Amino acid sequence: MLRFSVLALSVISLLAACTIDPYEAGDGQYSYLKAEMADMHTAAKCKVDYAVTDTDEKLTFNTPFSCHWATTPDSTYRAMLYYKKSPDKTEGNTCVKVWVLHPMKPSKNTPTDPVKLQSSWLSQNKKYINLRLGVMSGKPNDEKQKQKIGIVLNKQVTHTNGKKAIDLQLLHNRNHVPSYYTNILYISIPTTSYKSGDSIRLKVNTYQGMMEKTFVL
- For the stretch 76-107, pLDDT in tens is 999 999 999 988 899 999 999 999 999 998 88
Cα 192 to Cα 6, 56, 128, 145, 205, distances in angstroms: 20, 14, 8, 34, 25
CA distance 142 to 61: 42
Percent of the chain topping pLDDT 70: 86
DSSP secondary structure letter of residue 73: S
3-state secondary structure (DSSP) of residue 2: strand
- pLDDT interval class at 62 (50, 70, 90): very high
- Domains present along the chain, CATH in parentheses: 2-15+102-216 (2.60.40.2370), 33-100 (2.40.50)
What is the pLDDT confidence band of residue 31, given thresholds at 50, 70 and 90? low
pTM of the model: 0.85
DSSP state for residue 28 in the 8-state scheme: -
113-161 pLDDT per residue, tens: 999 999 999 999 999 999 999 999 888 777 777 889 999 999 999 999 9
